[in-house]
Chains A and B, each alone.
Chain A
Amino acid sequence: MSQLKYAFYTGCSAKGVAPELYDSTRLVAEKLGMELIELEAATCCGAGAVQEKDEFLAYTINARNLALAEELGLDLLTICNTCTVMLRDTKFKLDNDPELKAAVNEVLREAGLEYKGTSEVTHFLWEVIDGVGLDKLKSMVVRPLKDFNIAPFYGCHIIRPVYLIGYEDPDNPKSMEMVIEALGGNPKDHEARLACCGFHSFWSAEDEVTLRLTAMDTKAAKEEKADFMVTPCPLCHTQLDAMQEEAEERIGTQIGMPILHLPQMIGLALGMNPKDLGLHKHIVPTDNIIKKITSSK
């Protein structure tokens, strides 16, 4: 049990607009026997924005983030898809390019740090499957999600690109469905299962692209009569939950699709209090889910 110990990289969102993700991750991890040592000195991963302006700076700050996990001798665990891909991108480039690694380490030396490449970057979803194990998860379920039709929304950066992620087939991933089934829920296939929420072009193409995708995604889940969508990424969550109203306005249709964070869904099945899991902090009301889960037994 004690080997489920990770250097916990929160990312900006869980410390910012998605505090309910931080809280539910903490609660669920503890219940599942995962020990999370928070990297309180870690910085933002650059989210692709810094990478597009100053590539070298992006590799350097992420090398520092990775070095913080190496100091603890632990693998780094993320709860955000974009953090996952950005940290893995830095690791990929540094581990395969000795010249770049030397240049980055020359900078890190200024602060007495070194990037060695000894810690892996992993995501909460993968550790629930490979670390905790689905059999164990199943055995801990006290409130099976049998009355729920659940639409998984993977979010791009936990499946693509293969050369940075490589955990499962990006054309037909199964990890989210596996977790939903272990919790007794009914995974619903839908058009937007592997689609993009639009988050990353918000400031450049809010009307042209972003909100149109948000509307398409949430509508796709509604068409399959899903009770809620679930995502392993806080950026997808903010986009699909907090911006859903704006997306509805643009298309002139009411959608009202609740969006849950992955650990919130697990927590509900493990019998935790919806309020502790932060379900009341969502913009799209989750009342129906709470009603259904607390009346089922």
Chain B
Amino acid sequence: METFKLRVFRYDPTKDSEPYYKEYTLPVEKGMTVLAALFKVKEEQDPTLSFRYNCRAAICGSCSMRINGHGTLACKEQVTKILEKYNTDTITVEPIGNVKPLKDLIFDFDYLLNKMKKVKPWFIPKEPPPPDGKEYRQSPEDHHKIDFASDCILCASCVSECNAFKANEEYLTPFVFSKAYRYAADSRDGAKRERLEAVLDKLNLEWCVRCWQCTTNCPKEVQPYENIIRLRIMAAEEGFKTPGERHAEIFEEDIRERGLLNEMLLPIRQEGLLGAIKRAPFGIKMLLKGKANIADFFGGHKVKRHEEVVKIYEKAKEKEKEVRIRIPQILGVVYEDKRKTIRRANFLDKGGNE
């Protein structure tokens, strides 16, 4: 392929009533990034094209956009690789999804910034500065807990295809949770509860649908999804009672008592009697279709070798306080077509034995 088409989202609110797409034909050059392609268009074909950029090295986070449907940094994506990945001769470039476009590829970041302010993304010290006049310090192990989360460059790639945000604009968005986690988990920070209360406002933290899209999009391996889960673990440890926490309790009870989850008794245990009444027509519908078993309404059956499960459950509960679970680095993971030769992640424990 000698040339490719760059299909660009165009919109100037002072002139256009509706956004439209404009196609530019460009030569395929080895090593050319999507950002470089946009520059070529601006310099040689259309000086009116607007986009944000700065460092050109995936450090500043300015050139985030949606490339063939996925939020990422234009300076990090090579034209030849995108053409190959989607098996196409066209690269479609749009502003980051789920946010208002301002002009061409530029989107309204202030809107997201206002969300971020809610979690107070700054350090609130727990104690006065050390008497020796030096900086606040922390151990490598404590630093490891916030290491990845502090790599966020606010590019908003994670926001672009976020499913919860797509459904509801009141969702705080993945990078905001990552910021909240980065401070709440900091050993020197004194506002953990305040931050948890902020993310649990309207239960926002539990709106996340566990789709893992943000972690997949993130160009900096910040692990936004994992940080959301770490915040939920933290909230459970701090004693916050939420539907998610109750849900987990039901799963634990069922694993201990019978092994598998009893889906038919879930509503009454999750939401109490009122919930059960509200859900009753649904239960009857499932029953009539043969999707539910009458026996399940009376507890249901146990898995084989259930006594093993009880022993393991009790012992795990007893031991869990002394076990240190490390946060894995997931850098450098790639997929391959052949299942058996998948190159596994590079798992490094930065905080452990240094």
Interface residues of A (CB under 8 A from B): 12-13, 15-20, 40-44, 46-57, 60-61, 64, 85, 92-93, 95-97, 99-100, 103, 106-108, 110-113, 120, 122, 126, 130, 156-157, 160-163, 165-172, 195-196, 198-201, 203-205, 208-210, 212-213, 216, 242, 246, 280-283
Contact = CB atoms under 8 A, between A and B. Distances in A.
Interface residues of B, number: 94
Given A19-B290, A44-B259, A107 B245 contact: no
A103 B207 contact: no
Contact of B245 (A13, A41, A53): A53
Interface string B201-241: 01100111111110110000000010001001100100000
Contacts of B164: 201, 205, 209
A216 B319 contact: no
Nearest to B260: A12
Interface of B: 68-70, 85-87, 163-164, 166-168, 170-171, 202-203, 206-213, 215-216, 225, 229, 232-233, 236, 242-252, 254-255, 259-264, 270-271, 282, 285-286, 289-293, 296, 303-309, 311-313, 315-317, 319-320, 323-326, 328, 330, 333-337, 339-340, 342-345, 347, 349
Contacts, number: 269
Nearest to B229: A52
B85 A171 contact: yes
Given A17-B292, A163-B345, A44 B255 contact: yes
Contacts of B312: 60-61, 64, 107-108, 110-111, 113
Listed from nearest, the 7 A-B pairs whose CB atoms lie closest are A204-B206, A96-B347, A53-B248, A111-B308, A160-B212, A196-B163, A56-B320
Contacts of B207: 201, 204-205, 208-209
Contacts of B202: 208
A7 to B, nearest CB: 14
Given A52-B244, A196-B213, A209-B207, 15 more contacts: A12-B261, A16-B264, A19-B290, A41-B306, A48-B210, A56-B316, A113-B308, A157-B212, A161-B212, A161-B330, A171-B69, A196-B209, A204-B243, A205-B168, A205-B203
